[in-house]
Amino acid sequence: MDIIYLSDLRIDTIIGIYDWERRVKQTVIIDIEMGADIRAAANSDNIEDTLNYKNVAKRLFAYIGESEFELVETLAEKVAELILTEFKVPWLRLKVNKQGAVRGVRDVGVIIERGQKS
């Protein structure tokens, strides 16, 4: 299986459990790897034959930018469901990083892997 990826996608959103976090947008950093078979696109040299990563990024900017989840775990699950459903990828690995959430730690977050349900 081939992988199409987006790395260091930065999106401002409401995320967190504390009162101040419910009022101020914070930046989450998304890294995503999506399973794909790129052979048809490689042969045709046509964007219609592949997973268009620009469309994925635009959808994530819209969805995450409007979301107001409390937990990064919830955000990760919902984003995974969205990509699996809307873009029909067979598998993905998603990292959600909420930098600065813990004093003295640069990166903190979750990494999940999900696939299509049989």
Catalytic residue, from 25, 58, 98, 117: name it: 98
Looking at the structure of the chain, the number of domains it has is: 1
Which pLDDT tens digits describe the chain residue by residue (118 residues)?
899 999 999 999 999 999 999 999 999 999 999 999 999 999 999 999 999 999 999 999 999 999 999 999 999 999 999 999 999 999 999 999 998 777 888 889 999 999 998 5
> Of 113, 93, 108, nearest to 28 (Cα)?
108
Active site residue 117: no
Would you say 87 and 34 are in contact if contact means Cβ atoms under 8 Å apart?
yes
Q: Which residues of 50-62 are buried (b: 16+ CB within 10 A; e: fewer)?
A: bbebeebeeebbe
Would you say 79 and 96 are in contact if contact means Cβ atoms under 8 Å apart?
yes
**Residue 24 sits in a domain of what CATH number?**
3.30.1130.10
H helix count then E strand count, the chain: 3, 4
Full domain range(s) for residue 85: 2-115
pLDDT (0 to 100) of residue 80? 98
CA atoms within a 13 Å half-sphere pointing along the CA-CB vector of 86: 15
Would you say 76 and 92 are in contact if contact means Cβ atoms under 8 Å apart?
no
pTM: 0.93
Q: How far apart are the first and last CA of the chain?
A: 18
> Of 84, 71, 72, nearest to 113 (Cα)?
84
